[in-house]
Amino acid sequence: MTEFAPFSALAGGALIGIAAVLLMAGIGRIAGVSGILLSMLTSRDFAAVGWRLAFLIGMPLGALLTVALGFKDLRDLTFPAGMLATVAAGLLVGAGTTLGSGCTSGHGVCGIARLSMRSIVATLTFMTTGFAIVFIVRHVM
């Protein structure tokens, strides 16, 4: 069973929101992680790659900082999926973000904050799909 941790979830959500606002206010960019990664991999302009690389490196560094400060113990972390399932899931997420022209950060955080109807529909679609898949895997299969 998953532990309910409302305070860490609230803090994490606030930090995601702050990062999105700082990126938009600072350089006028939307914090859509899949778009940032794709643009970084396909861009030939180093200046355009620099901020994207810093943003992407900062995400795991933030997680490591929570461990270093004693907020989380990595020994408590379990990951039951195998390598094949992880790769398959990653490819499916990549295909979904390409088909949906964005991900949870781009549509769910930034798009909904801008009241974009396209982002609201996209977020409802992938959240509903995610709920259905979890239900099927945990309760039907």
Task: Name the residue ranges covered by the structural domains of the chain.
Answer: 6-140
Q: How far is Cα 109 from Cα 17, in angstroms, rounded to an integer?
A: 7
pLDDT digits (tens, 9 = 90+) for 32-74: 888 888 888 888 887 778 889 888 998 888 888 878 887 777 7
- Asked whether the whole model's pTM tops 0.75, one would answer no
Q: How far is Cα 106 from Cα 35, in angstroms, rounded to an integer?
A: 8
The stretch 68-83 carries a mean pLDDT of: 76
pLDDT digits (tens, 9 = 90+) for 105-117: 888 888 888 899 9
What's the N-to-C CA distance of the chain in angstroms?
18
Q: Residue 34: which region, alpha, beta or left (left: phi > 0; alpha: psi -120 to 50)?
A: alpha
Q: How far is Cα 10 from Cα 23, in angstroms, rounded to an integer?
A: 20
Indicate whether 89 pLDDT > 60.
Answer: yes
